[in-house]
C-alpha cells in the first residue's frame, strides 16, 4: 500500500518520500487513517516501528486544514519523557512539515538547559509544542505559552513517562488542556498504571497493535559471548575489527565505566566517546549528533541511550555490561536493526554474570548459545551463590526474594563462617565491573 492511499495530502506524501519512506510501516498504515478521521488512538508498537511518523504526518495534515491565518496558538502538544526524544520527535515534525504550503512552527522544549532561549523561541506562538512535562509547566508558569487551544494531544512512550515519575506533572498538564481534543497514546508496554492512564484519557480509541511476527520483527542477530571481565575491551576491539563496524553503541553499567571504556578505546586508536547523564545537555546533544554524522565510531553509554534514540543504520549494539532488567535488554538491542535494516546485538557474559544472563534469556524466551571465541576463552570461575543472592540471579531488577529466599539467606548468613566473599566482591571491578545490582 502506498502512502497516497492513506488519505494524506500530496505535500505530505512527498514529504514521506523525501524522508526515504517508500511504503508505510504497519503502525503507519493503521494509525494514519484513524488519526486523520479524528479518532483517539491507543498504539502499542515496538521500538523502531515508525510510530513517530505515524502520528507526525496526520497531525501536520490536520493542523494545515485547521489553520486560521490568525495568531499562532498551540494546537498540538506532544509530551515525551526525555530531552533526547523531544529533540528527535521535534526534528521529525519539522522535517516532514517543511514542504507544506503554510509552514507550521514546531517548538521543542525540555529541561536541563536555560529556559530563556526557549521563552524567546515561543514569542509569536507555536503551532506544535514537543515537550517534557516539567519544563512545559515551567513555561506555562512564566506565561510563555498557553495550552487552552490544544486540539491534539500525543503521549509518546507513555510507559517511560510514568517510569520516570512524571505522573503528577502529567496530571497538572492535562488539567490545563481543553476537554474537547484528540488523544493519541503510544506506549511500548501496557502495565496496569499505563493502562489506567490510557483508560482515563481515551474515548473509543482505535487500537493499533503491531504484533511481534517474523515479518515485522527487526532483523537483529543476537549473540552471547563468554569472556572474562578483564578482557572485554580487547574483545570489543577484536569484534569491531573483525566485522568492520562503522558504528557501535556500547552499553555499560555506570557513568564511570562509560568514561573509562571510551578512554581505553580512544587510547587504542578507536574514535570512542562517552555518553551519559553526567554530561551537560550541550555535550550530550553534541555527542549524539556527531555519532549520527559518523564522526564517532563508538559511543559508550549507560541506559540513558537505551530508549527513544534513533540512529539510522547502526550496525551493532554491544552489552559490555549486561542490563539490569530483561526489559532494558530489549530496549538496548532495539537501537540496531531499525526500520527493516539488519543489525547485530552482542552480549558479553562474564562468568560472574552467567546466571543473570540466563534469567534475561528466560524472560525473553531466548536460548542463545554461549559462544567462546579463540583467544578470549574465560578463565575465571562463576562465583558460588551468595547469601544475598542465593539463586545467583545477579540481582535482576524486578525479582523480589520470596519468603523462602529470605529464609535461605538468613540460614546461610547464620551459618556463614566468613570464608567466602559475597558474589561480585571477589575481584576488583574492572571498568565498572558487571554492576548488576
Ligand atoms: P520510530 O519508530 O518512529 O523511532 O522510527 C524508527 C525509524 O524508522 C526512523 O529512522 C524512521 O526514519 C524510520 N521510518 C519511519 N517510517 C518509515 C517508513 N515508512 N519506511 C522506512 N523507514 C521508516
Looking at residue 393, its pLDDT comes to: 46
Name the burial class of residue 263, with classes exposed (0-12), middle (13-18) and buried (19+) by CB atoms within 10 angstroms of its CB: middle
Asked if 312 contacts 291 with a C-beta cutoff of 8 angstroms, the reply is: no
Which residue ranges make up each domain of the chain?
3-213, 219-371
Q: What is the pLDDT of residues 145-163, one digit of tens each?
A: 999 999 999 999 898 888 7
| pLDDT at residue 102, as a whole number | 86
Strands (E) located in 17-149: 41-44, 76-79, 106-109, 128-131
pLDDT at 430 over 60: no
Mutate to test the pocket of ligand 1, among 53, 80, 216 (most ligand atoms within 8 A of CB): 53
Helix and strand totals (H; E) in the chain: 15, 14
Task: Fill in the DSSP letter of residue 415.
Answer: T
Is the pLDDT at 129 greater than 90? The verdict is: yes
For the CA of 16, the nearest atom of ligand 1:
19
Phi, psi dihedrals of residue 128, rounded to the nearest 5°: -130, 135
How sure is the predictor about 431, in pLDDT bands with cuts at 50, 70 and 90? very low
Establish whether residue 15 lines the binding site of ligand 1, counting it when its CB lies within 6 angstroms of any ligand atom. no
Share of the chain above pLDDT 70, in %: 83
Ligand 1 centroid, distance to 208 Cα (angstroms):
16
Residue 53 or residue 390, greater confidence: 53
Parallel, antiparallel, or unpaired: how do β-strands 248-251 and 219-226 relate?
unpaired
10 Å Cβ neighbour count for 426?
Answer: 14
For the stretch 192-222, pLDDT in tens is 899 999 999 999 999 998 765 444 555 788 9
53 lines ligand 1 (CB under 6 A): yes
The fourth-level CATH superfamily of domain 219-371 is P-loop containing nucleotide triphosphate hydrolases (3.40.50.300)
pLDDT in tens, 311-362: 777 889 999 999 988 888 888 888 887 666 678 999 999 999 999 999 998 8
Using a 6 Å cutoff on CB, does residue 43 contact ligand 1? no
Q: What is the predicted pLDDT for the residue at 230?
A: 95
Q: Considering only residues 400 and 419, tell me which one the structure prediction assigns the higher pLDDT.
A: 400
Hey, what's the cell of 148? 487552552
Q: What is the mean pLDDT of the chain?
A: 84
Residue 199 CA to ligand 1 center (angstroms) comes to: 28
Residue 72 CA: distances (Å) to CA of 107, 129, 184, 295: 12, 12, 22, 38
Strands 219-226 and 298-301, sheet pairing: unpaired
Ligand 1 within 6 A of 51 CB? yes
- Band the pLDDT of 402: cuts 50, 70, 90: very low
Nearest C-alpha to atom 20 of ligand 1 is from which residue?
21
Consecutive H or E run containing 208: strand 206-209
Domain 3-213 bears CATH identifier 3.40.50.300: yes
Residue 149 CA to residue 71 CA, distance in Å, equals 12
Spatial CB neighbours of 406, under 8 Å, sequence gap ≥ 6: none
Do 3-213 and 219-371 come out as alike in CATH topology?
A: yes
CA distance 243 to 321: 20
Assess contact for 159 and 191: CB atoms under 8 A.
Answer: yes
* Of 121-135, 274-288, 380-394, the least confident: 380-394
Between the CA of 48 and the centroid of ligand 1 the distance, in Å, is 6
**Cα distance between residue 406 and residue 410, in whole Å:** 6
The predicted-structure confidence for 215-261, as pLDDT tens digits, reads as follows: 455 578 899 999 999 999 999 999 999 998 989 999 999 999 999 99
Burial of 93-115, coded b for 16+ CB within 10 Å and e otherwise, reads bbebbebbeeebbbbbbbbeeee
SS3 state of residue 41: strand
**pLDDT tens, 12-47?**
999 999 998 989 998 999 999 999 999 999 999 766
- Give me the pLDDT at residue 416, please: 37
Compute the distance between CA of residue 226 and CA of residue 350 in angstroms, rounded to an integer.
6
Cβ contact 52:19 at 8 Å: no
Rg (CA), the chain: 24
> In whole angstroms, what is the distance from residue 242 CA to residue 209 CA?
39
Contact 126, 106 (CB under 8 A): yes
Minimum mean pLDDT range among 14-23, 237-246, 383-392, 401-410: 401-410
pLDDT at 395: 45
CA 312 to ligand 1 center in whole angstroms: 9
b/e code 19-45 from CB counts within 10 Å (16+ = b): eebeebbbbbbbbbbbbbeebbbbbbb
Rounded to an integer, the average pLDDT of 413-432 is 34
Q: Which atom of ligand 1 is nearest to the CA of 24?
A: 19
Residue linked to cell 553499567: 253
Whether 92 has a pLDDT exceeding 90, the answer reads yes
Amino acid at each position: 500500500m502506498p502512502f497516497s492511499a492513506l488519505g494524506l495530502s500530496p505535500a505530505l506524501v512527498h514529504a514521506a518520500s523525501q524522508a526515504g519512506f517508500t511504503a508505510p510501516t504497519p503502525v503507519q498504515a493503521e494509525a494514519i487513517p484513524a488519526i486523520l478521521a479524528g479518532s483517539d488512538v491507543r498504539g502499542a508498537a515496538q521500538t523502531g516501528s515508525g510510530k513517530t511518523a505515524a502520528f507526525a504526518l496526520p497531525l501536520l495534515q490536520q493542523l494545515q486544514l485547521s489553520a486560521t491565518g490568525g495568531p499562532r496558538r498551540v494546537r498540538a502538544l506532544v509530551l515525551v519523557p526525555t530531552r533526547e526524544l523531544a529533540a528527535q520527535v521535534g526534528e521529525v515534525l519539522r522535517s516532514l512539515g517543511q514542504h507544506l504550503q503554510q509552514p507550521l512552527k514546531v517548538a521543542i522544549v525540555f529541561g536541563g538547559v536555560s529556559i530563556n532561549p526557549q521563552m524567546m523561541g515561543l514569542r509569536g506562538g507555536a503551532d506544535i509544542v514537543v515537550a517534557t512535562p516539567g519544563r512545559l509547566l515551567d513555561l506555562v508558569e512564566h506565561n510563555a505559552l498557553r495550552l487552552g487551544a490544544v486540539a491534539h494531544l500525543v503521549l509518546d512512550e507513555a510507559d517511560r513517562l510514568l517510569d520516570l515519575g512524571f505522573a503528577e506533572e502529567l496530571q497538572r498538564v492535562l488539567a490545563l488542556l481543553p476537554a474537547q481534543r484528540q488523544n493519541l497514546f503510544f506506549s511500548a508496554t501496557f502495565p496496569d498504571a499505563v493502562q489506567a492512564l490510557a483508560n482515563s484519557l481515551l474515548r473509543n480509541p482505535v487500537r493499533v497493535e503491531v504484533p511481534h511476527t517474523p515479518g515485522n520483527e527487526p532483523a537483529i542477530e543476537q549473540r552471547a559471548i563468554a569472556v572474562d571481565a578483564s578482557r572485554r575491551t580487547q574483545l570489543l576491539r577484536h569484534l569491531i575489527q573483525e566485522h568492520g563496524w562503522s558504528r557501535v553503541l556500547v552499553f555499560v553499567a555506570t557513568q564511570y565505566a562509560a568514561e573509562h571504556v571510551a578512554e581505553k578505546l580512544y587510547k587504542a586508536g578507536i574514535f570512542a566517546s562517552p555518553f551519559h547523564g553526567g554530561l551537560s545537555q550541550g555535550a550530550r546533544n553534541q555527542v549524539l549528533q556527531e555519532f549520527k554524522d559518523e564522526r564517532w565510531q563508538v559511543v559508550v553509554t549507560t541506559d540513558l541511550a537505551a530508549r527513544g534514540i534513533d540512529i539510522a543504520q547502526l550496525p551493532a549494539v554491544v552489552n559490555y555490561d549486561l542490563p539490569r532488567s530483561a526489559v532494558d535488554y530489549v530496549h538496548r538491542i532495539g537501537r540496531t536493526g531499525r526500520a527493516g535494516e539488519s543489525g547485530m546485538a552482542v552480549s558479553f557474559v562474564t562468568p560472574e554474570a552467567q546466571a543473570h544472563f540466563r534469567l534475561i534469556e528466560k524472560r525473553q524466551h531466548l536460548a542463545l548459545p554461549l559462544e567462546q571465541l579463540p583467544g578470549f576463552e574465560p578463565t575465571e570461575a562463576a562465583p558460588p551463590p551468595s547469601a544475598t543472592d542465593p539463586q545467583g540471579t545477579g540481582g535482576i531488577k524486578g525479582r523480589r526474594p520470596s519468603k523462602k529466599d529470605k529464609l535461605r539467606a538468613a540460614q546461610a548468613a547464620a551459618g556463614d563462617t566468613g570464608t567466602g566473599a559475597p558474589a561480585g566482591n571477589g575481584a576488583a571491578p574492572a571498568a565498572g565491573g558487571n554492576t548488576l545490582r
